[in-house]
Structure formats: structure tokens, C-alpha cells
Amino acid sequence: MPRLVLAVIALAVFGVLRAPLEEDLRERLVAANLLLPPPGQGAFEQMSQSALMGTLGGLRSLVATFLTLNAFEHFSTKSWDDLRANYLIITNLEPRDESHWVAVIWHIGINATANMETDLRLPAFERERRFKEYAFQAIDLAERGLAQLPDSAAIRLQLAEVYREKLKDDCATARVYGEIIGLPEAPSYARRFYGYFMARCPGREEEAYEYLMDLYREGERQHLPTLIKEIKNLEEKLAIPSPQRIPDADPDRPQKMPKTPANVLPGGIVVP
Amino acid sequence: MSDDPPPSTEATPRRTPRAAGKAVPIFSLGRVATIAASTVTQLVRMKTFYFLLAFALVVVAVGNFNIPATPAKELSMIKKVAFGTMDIFAWLFAIVATALLIPKDVEDRTLYTILSKPVRRVEYLLGKLCGVLGVIAVSLVAMYAICALVIYSRESLFVSAEYEAMVASAQYTAAEIEEQLSLIQQQGLRAELGIAVLASFFKAAVVAAVTIFLSTFASSSLFTIIVSILLFLIGHAHHMASSFWLHESENNMAVQMLVKVIKILIPNYQLFSFSEGIVQGEAVVAALVWQMGGLTAGYLVVFLLLSLLVFVDKEF
């Protein structure tokens, strides 16, 4: 038997032996997030030929990076739909890269909507329609991102910005900030922001007052101007009795100057 | 005429045959090291390290892209491009360098000189493989050094700029500044990135072993290079593509058989892409890295033995 045939048979035997071991290793590498699972069917269908070849050839990260640069091109030309399409592939290729999700929510939820507010080439009704469409697309993208990375504080922060700045939905903003509290990379201001937006959410004023007062009682560290102002607003709204109100001055009201005695002239000259 | 042998003379000492002298050991690490060292010299003389210049250009260019992204995102992009390029250079170098070596030795007639000496063919193959792996290792370390330099300089720049901006705005507490800076540092230069380089080395080592096997029966370097690249692409894609094919063909029996044959005969290179996860900032699991090292060693031994099986009786 030719030696080459023998070699192929030996290769096949080695293949049969290593197959289960490799399958087990692959599963464990995927579980440890060191290896990416195969991209979704949708990603294959949307990719260009070169991107597909690159992805199949093990250049997944490189393809994703170059698509990110391509997306920046779409950002420069304000081609929001193309940008979104690019990011759909990118997030399919690297679903566990938080920064891709954050970037696409920022682009669609903040930049595209801002563009719709200012693009005077479009009629007002069309701008309004697209504004809402982009805002809701950003929310949808955030939900997809959170399905991949349930503990992501960064995706939620970006989503909260869309609710806060674009949709002006204080209740939804409060809900998202509330979800951020306790997450591994939650910023410390998330606790305060949860209270601030809850205070502006109709029907939750009492809960917000209790929550903000708890924060206030934590000490000087939490006595920030916005916190004091929100508490002051709630004290007015809920008609909190004066003795129970916080002693701090409302940071938005001009400070009362101490009354100067009538016999003191400007410059501190005392008239006898 | 007498048939008796001529009487020996005591004055002329009898010359003993060579075989009866000092025995040649079956396997010598010294001979392997000599061949490996000559392979390194051979590759260095081919000016293979010039590709480091191209690599440095790619990394520096990516490091200076001016896109509206957070510092962490920008660092992540630099890392991905740098390590992706490093990976490509490593496996491509493994294929081209290995494919050229044996045919070049035949062409230069160096092979005849080597094999006419008491050098076993296994020592020759192992020496060649070790030489290629040595050059790949040095190249990877050099590429990592360039990459680390760029990442570290960008990271320091971003950290100081962010710190100054946050302090100047006077809106953030010290803890918040610390949090923000740690987000940037997470995407910066970390010790774990060394494991990503090791992953690229594992992949390149397996590619080199497969290529040396192909070059033992290939008719030309070009054939070896093309087939090795094709095997690499198939080996990378078969896991991803098989689910797609099976889905498209509704689990057709013929497709299932084809997928099985491919999986058995072609190494699963996708497994060796675990550097991608490390570059993205995932934690390294030491046990898995060891197991991948073991798998790489297994591939090296098996493909070296297969190469020997074909090469041992080959006539030049």
C-alpha cells in the first residue's frame, strides 16, 4: 500500500479520536467567552462576499473592525440606514462586544434623531416620523444587546440617554437607571439618577421622596445640588411640613444676603 | 597457484571499517538543533523579518485613526486590528516558510549533503519544523512588542486626557473619575494579551506541521502553499459553514457525510482563534490554555509522524 494512503488512513484515525475532544474543548471555550459562537444566519445573508470570506477565514474581529470604520463613513454622510445595517452585521459577528452595542444605540438613538431634528431638507412630518423610528430602533437594538449581555451597564446607560434626551420619558429613564443599580460596572451616579427621574415620573413622587431622602441621609457626600433641588421640589409637591424639610437652601434660588444694618454704608463705613 | 590469503604483515596496521567504529545514535537532539539553527539562518537570509515593517505600519496607522469613539472603544479597535494582523502574519508565514524549505533544500542540493551524513530523516523534519517555529516565535514576540508600545502610548494619552477633562469640569467625584479611567485601562495593555500571542503561536504551529506534511509529497512549493491556504480556510470555516450547509440542504445525508469527512481529515483551526476572546477583554481560563497547548502538541507529533511516513522512503 502506498505510504501516502497509509498516511491518509492514519490522519482519519487521528481525526476520529480528536473529534469528541475538540467538540468538548470548543463548547468550553465558547462557555468561557473565549471563542465566539457561529454568527447568526442573518449575518451571512447580509455580508458582502469579501466580508464573508474574511469571516469564514478566521478574520472575524478584523472584518468587524473594518465594518466599524465603514460605519463611520456612513456616520459622516449621515446614511443612518446603511450605518444600522452595518452594525447589524457587526453585532452578529461580535455579539459579546459591548462597545458595538453602545455605539449603534448612540448613533441611531442620539445622532440620527438629532439629525432629524435639524435636517430642514425633509418636511416636518417626515422628520418627526423618522425621529420616532430611529428612537424606537435604538430601543430595539438595546434590547437585543441586553439579550446578549444581560449585565451590561453601558448599554443601559446609553438606552437611558435615549429615553431621557430624545423621548423625554422620565418613567422609562428611571426604570432603566433602576436596572443599572447593582450591576457589576454600574457608575455611582446611577443611584442618584434613578431617584431624580423617579421624582419626575407622575405617580411615583412619594416613593421618589423616600428614596432621595435615604440618599440624603447617607451624608455630606450625597448632598449634591441636583439632589437637594429634587428634594426641595418634592417637598413642595407633597406639602411636607416645614420641620421635616431639609435645612439646605434651594440651589436654584438666589441666596438671601444678610441684612446690613441701616447705619452701615457701602464699604463698611459705620455712621454713628 | 595457492588460494590461501596472503600472510598479514604486522608492520602495516589494518584499517577497520567505519561501521565497526563509533556507533551513530538513533536520535540526536544536537543534530536536530543544528538543522533548526541552519533553518533559522536560512529564513533570516530570505529577509523574512521585513514583514515586521508592514505590521508596524498597520498598527501605527490604526493607532492614529480619528473616529468619534470613546477611548475604550478606540483602544479595543487598535487591539483587534493589531492582534488580527499578527494572527494573519503568523499563519501565513508558517505556510510560506515551511512550504519553501524542503523544495529549496532539494533545489540547492543541500538535502543530499545532509541526508548523506548520519542524519535521520526524522531529525531533518523535526529540525526544519523547530526552525520555522523558532522564527515564528521571534516574529510574534517582535510584533507583540510593537503592538504593546502603540497600545501603551495611546492608553497613557487617553488616561491623562480623560483625567484632565474630568478634573477640569469639576462635576465628578474622585471615585467616578477612577471608574472612568479603569474603563479605559480595561481595554489597554494587560498581561493576558500575552496569552493571545500564545494562541496565535499555537495556530501557526499547527499550520506549519500540516504544511510540512504536505510538502513531503507535493510536487512544488506553489502547490503546497495553495493547498495549505485552502486547508486553512476550510479548517477555519467548517464548523461555521457546516451548520449553514446542513440547514440549507435540510440535513441531506450526502452533505452530512461530506461534513463528517471534512471534520475528520482537516484540523479545526477555529478552535485556535481563542485569542479573539482574550483581546476583547474576556478572562483567561488557564486550564483551557493548557489543554489547547496539549492539543497543539498532539497535532505536531501526529503530523510529524505522518510526514515521516511519507518522507522516510522518498528518493531524491
Q: How many residue contacts between A and B have a Cβ separation below 8 Å?
A: 150
Whether residue B290 is contained in a domain is answered as yes
Domain boundary among A168, A190, A225: A168
The per-residue pLDDT for range B52-108, each reduced to its tens digit, is 888 888 888 877 776 667 788 788 888 888 898 899 889 999 999 899 888 888 888
Instruction: Tell me the three cell numbers of residue B211.
Output: 504544511
CA distance A210 to chain B (A): 24
Give Cβ neighbours of residue A179 (< 8 Å, ≥ 6 apart).
Answer: A156
Exposure on the CB side of residue B168, measured as CA atoms within 13 A:
6
Q: How far apart are CA A210 and CA A213, in angstroms?
A: 5
Give Cβ neighbours of residue B134 (< 8 Å, ≥ 6 apart).
Answer: B36, B39, B40
Distances (CA, A) of B129 to B207, B208, B216, B258: 11, 7, 12, 31
- In the stretch 36-55 of chain A, residues with CB closer than 8 A to chain B read 36, 38-39, 41, 44, 53, 55
Strand partners, A270: A264
pLDDT beneath 50: ranges in chain A? none
In total, how many domains does chain A have?
Answer: 2
- A100 and A181 co-located in one domain: no
- Across the interface, whether the CB atoms of A25 and B295 are under 8 A apart is answered yes
Whether residue A18 is contained in a domain is answered as no
CA distance B36 to chain A (A): 25
**What does the pLDDT read at residue B183?**
80
Specify the 3-state DSSP secondary structure of A224: coil
* B210–A contact, CB cutoff 8 A: no
DSSP A48: -
- Across the interface, whether the CB atoms of A188 and B175 are under 8 A apart is answered yes
Whether residue A270 is contained in a domain is answered as no
- A79 and A160 co-located in one domain: yes
- A231 and A214 co-located in one domain: yes
Instruction: Tell me the three cell numbers of residue B97.
Output: 516558510
* Chain A partners within 8 Å of B310 (Cβ): 3-4, 7
Whether residue B59 is contained in a domain is answered as yes
Beta strands in B173-272 (DSSP E): none
Secondary structure element (H or E) that encloses residue A265, with its range: strand A264-265
Whether residue A11 is contained in a domain is answered as no
DSSP A264: E
The per-residue pLDDT for range A134-184, each reduced to its tens digit, is 999 999 999 999 998 999 999 999 999 999 999 999 999 999 999 999 898
- In the stretch 125-184 of chain B, residues with CB closer than 8 A to chain A read 173, 175-176, 179, 183
- Across the interface, whether the CB atoms of A68 and B77 are under 8 A apart is answered yes
Whether residue B194 is contained in a domain is answered as yes
Secondary structure element (H or E) that encloses residue B233, with its range: helix B221-248
CA nearest A111 in B: which residue? B68
Whether residue A55 is contained in a domain is answered as yes
Whether residue A227 is contained in a domain is answered as yes
Q: What is the dihedral of CA B50, B53, B58, B59, to 10 degrees?
A: 120
- A123 and A222 co-located in one domain: no
DSSP A164: I
Q: Which of A186, A153, A60, A87 is nearest to B236 (CA)?
A: A60
- A155 and A83 co-located in one domain: yes
**What does the pLDDT read at residue A260?**
62
- A55 and A156 co-located in one domain: yes
CA distance A41 to chain B (A): 7
Whether residue A255 is contained in a domain is answered as no
- In the stretch 211-230 of chain B, residues with CB closer than 8 A to chain A read 213, 217
pLDDT surpassing 50 at residue B1: no
In total, how many domains does chain B have?
Answer: 1
Q: How far apart are CA B307 and CA B299, in angstroms?
A: 12
* B232–A contact, CB cutoff 8 A: yes
* Chain A partners within 8 Å of B240 (Cβ): 38-39, 55-56
With cut-offs at 50, 70 and 90, classify the pLDDT of residue B9.
very low
pLDDT surpassing 50 at residue B135: yes
Q: Which of A71, A187, A140, A254 is nearest to B65 (CA)?
A: A71
Mean pLDDT of B124-130: 92
Specify the 3-state DSSP secondary structure of A183: coil
CA distance A269 to chain B (A): 38
Whether residue B53 is contained in a domain is answered as yes
Residue with cell string 523535526: B126
What's the distance, Cα to Cα, between the start and end of chain A in Å? 127
Closest partner residue to B67 (CB to CB) among A58, A72, A97 is A72
Cα A58–Cα A61–Cα A66 angle in degrees, nearest 5: 115
Q: How far apart are CA B229 and CA B185, in angstroms?
A: 37
Q: How far apart are CA B31 and CA B22, in angstroms?
A: 16
* A129–B contact, CB cutoff 8 A: no
**What does the pLDDT read at residue A261?**
65
Phi, psi angle pair for A258, to nearest 5°: -60, 135
**What does the pLDDT read at residue A57?**
64
> Chain centroid to CA A134: how far?
15
Distances (CA, A) of B111 to A19, A58, B34, B105, B108: 36, 35, 14, 5, 8
Instruction: Tell me the three cell numbers of residue B174.
Output: 474622585
- A66 and A127 co-located in one domain: yes
Q: Which of B133, B135, B88 is nearest to B229 (CA)?
A: B88
- A162 and A176 co-located in one domain: no
B311, burial (CB in 10 Å: exposed 0-12, middle 13-18, buried 19+): buried
* Chain B partners within 8 Å of A90 (Cβ): none
Whether residue A146 is contained in a domain is answered as yes
DSSP B131: H
- A64 and A77 co-located in one domain: yes
Of all residues in chain B, what percent carry a pLDDT higher than 90? Answer: 31
Q: Which of A191, A184, A108 is nearest to A151 (CA)?
A: A184
Whether residue B277 is contained in a domain is answered as yes
Distances (CA, A) of A83 to A39, A105, A107, A115, B2: 19, 11, 8, 14, 104
- A86 and A199 co-located in one domain: no
- Across the interface, whether the CB atoms of B306 and A7 are under 8 A apart is answered yes
Q: Confirm if A169 and A163 have CB atoms less than 8 A apart.
A: yes
CA nearest A71 in B: which residue? B67
Q: How far apart are CA B163 and CA B36, in angstroms?
A: 51
Interface test with B, best of A61, A111, A158 (most B CBs within 10 A): A61
Instruction: Tell me the three cell numbers of residue B266.
Output: 482537516
pLDDT surpassing 80 at residue B14: no
What is the domain extent for residue B282? 26-311
Whether residue B7 is contained in a domain is answered as no
**What does the pLDDT read at residue B46?**
82
- Across the interface, whether the CB atoms of B85 and A62 are under 8 A apart is answered yes
CATH number (domain holding residue A57) = 1.25.40.10
- Across the interface, whether the CB atoms of A33 and B65 are under 8 A apart is answered no
Determine how many CB atoms are found less than 10 A away from the CB of residue B173: 13
What's the distance, Cα to Cα, between the start and end of chain B in Å? 47
- Across the interface, whether the CB atoms of A62 and B84 are under 8 A apart is answered yes
- Across the interface, whether the CB atoms of A56 and B240 are under 8 A apart is answered yes
* B52–A contact, CB cutoff 8 A: no
pLDDT surpassing 90 at residue B179: no
Residue with cell string 590461501: B4
- A157 and A184 co-located in one domain: no
- A97 and A183 co-located in one domain: no
What is the domain extent for residue A234? 172-245
Distances (CA, A) of B122 to A53, B11, B316: 37, 44, 16
- Across the interface, whether the CB atoms of A25 and B285 are under 8 A apart is answered no
* B121–A contact, CB cutoff 8 A: no
Whether residue A3 is contained in a domain is answered as no
Strand partners, A264: A270
The per-residue pLDDT for range B204-251, each reduced to its tens digit, is 999 999 999 999 888 788 999 999 999 998 888 877 777 777 777 777
